[in-house]
Chain A
């Protein structure tokens, strides 16, 4: 019976090999010239449309373009799953993923994989009205690969009953911590749990101090500078002396918001979504006693917020790129941008929208957010972003907890990013 069992295993292995062989056959080239000027029905792919923004927009588009109808393909609401879904469909050269909504941090990766159509020539879009940081997040190797669609930036929430004028520099913020001590509450918190939010916060600290994480090429680490050290050192010192409470090492956005709403925090770095919740939440004790300001800087303007948001890109496998381009321009229009802001509380990418009086009345945080995004810096625009963010998270987390020195953390971060770009 041994022989029979062996042959069964061999049979399975052979079947596996044959199947494996089938999958490695590659198809023809993706972007043919004809597709660049072709009009026709397309599909728009985006993560879960929680606040029902996309469907009304697409209905509006379809009513005006009956021959170039857009179909909405809705993905899950988990960013990782959206990323994996896009990767699988690009690998399968899916012609039906025409316009895809990509997170700002995936744009470089997808561009370098050759999956995104550069927006140049006939497909070029107007970028002069757009906020510069949002354009930077969609640019790789000097080419624009996606159109900024929605944005986001960090803002500083503070207790207006305890602080009259919000701090404009990190040092002022730290000296205001004396107020927190007198009031018997904790001083400052951002997001320091080991997840993407930590990369956002560390990048802000380093960028605000004048440093960078990677160079323009997206792969050379630049953490061996005094500026980078100064940035990380600030977080480490504040955590060590208790200005950042020890519990903050477990904070994601929500835990920080809850602590602030419970009146336990003097300052909080968070996204704009907290504003309306802190104003209206039943459990919020700070409804009328908080204010907002841009993130504290280095003495020369506001701090450098990390950039959130999404970009809309055209797949190289799309058969109707001309329609895809028109649809992207439709998403960029100030009318659509206003709709994003009012209906979905999504931050616009066009500067002029932020000063629209009716909009500001509805979303009072817009002027502050504009200041934040105007001085924002995208997180590292790198095709190796997953490895870069792991390198930042692992080492910065250890440094903030005090397990390693700031110098060691930055040296390791530098080496880990080098290793990533060398193919590990």
Chain B
């Protein structure tokens, strides 16, 4: 990095700096060798699929040759696959651009985006609130604490597919939910009932994850701080808002970030529980469900959709990190030192 400006800038004494620079250079080289295998692996398992998907997203899906009835390669598509999803542009039989009709997957994009964000906001909010409460319970010392901790963790240990099937039976028309509350709600087909069925199942499943991450934060708070608060006569609520909450904030932020990224990719639970159905048929279709449906109808268009989904999640994560100042790495370092980030 020797530039013209560096010469002008008065630096620290030369010899010292050169010695340090040499050592640093060597360290950098060693570090580069050490991480090279990881970079190569990442390039193969992450870089390759992403780049392939992006390349494919600019190709048209194969069309039918009118005379032979055989599929032929679609050729370069430009941005039309993206316009198809974002602007709901479809072609009719004579090649004119029209708005995508209902029943075409393209017409479901904004609905799916809305559903995904709705699920994300509601489930993460619920899971954070309940998770914090669980964590505080688990952090207390009482008889049978191990049992309570294990019990709270059980839902997290069950595979999502099994969880989804479990709730599918609970929410079926003749299922436990309806007979317990003496209702006749169509949990998997009514618009809001199906959405809440997903939210309930997801909250049930993922709250333990939040609780566990928050518990890790709680355990780092020294007992003396609470003792001091008690001596000062602080109420329990005051203790919670001015001591517990600020001190678990770093752990909480990381947990929320993880959950948001997870929830934006939500696929298995709605896919099994409602099949993406409900309402007029797409009340619980998330972006990932839409991607999978499109994969079978046309791969290149699906690539465009998955790229869009990837960018949306990336932007959300970026905003979250920037606005709320979450820094996963720094937080973990701070936690190891037992200090506030």
Contact = CB atoms under 8 A, between A and B. Distances in A.
- Most chain A CB atoms below 10 A, which of B51, B186, B275: B51
A416 B103 contact: yes
- Most chain A CB atoms below 10 A, which of B39, B40, B60, B104: B104
Contacts of B51: 13, 16-17, 19-20
A82 to B, nearest CB: 12
Contacts of B105: 387, 390
Contact of B282 (A17, A114, A249, A394): A394
A403 B297 CA distance: 26
Interface string A101-113: 0000000000011
Interface stretch (B63-71, B144-152, B238-246, B256-264): B63-71
Given A383-B64, A412-B103, A15 B43 contact: yes
A422 B71 contact: no
A13 B297 contact: no
A254 to B, nearest CB: 10
B338 interface: no
Contact of A412 (B46, B61, B102): B102
Nearest to A91: B299
Nearest to B171: A250
A178 B44 CA distance: 66
Interface size class of A (residues with CB under 8 A): 35 or more
A15 B100 CA distance: 37
Contacts of A19: 43-44, 47-48, 51-52
Given A219-B64, A250-B186, A424-B90, A416 B104 contact: yes
Interface string A381-396: 0011011001111110
A384 B52 CA distance: 24
A83 to B, nearest CB: 7
Interface string B269-304: 000000111011110000000000100111001000
Given A83-B296, A193-B189, A250-B173, A394 B103 contact: yes
Interface stretch (B91-99, B220-228, B315-323, B328-336): B91-99
B174 to A, nearest CB: 8
A419 interface: yes
Give me the 6 closest cross-chain CB pairs, A-B, nearest first: A16-B51, A416-B103, A415-B101, A15-B43, A391-B103, A16-B47
Interface of B: 1, 28, 39-40, 42-44, 46-48, 50-52, 55, 60-64, 68-71, 74, 84, 90-93, 95, 98, 100-107, 172-174, 184, 186, 188-189, 275-277, 279-282, 293, 296-298, 301
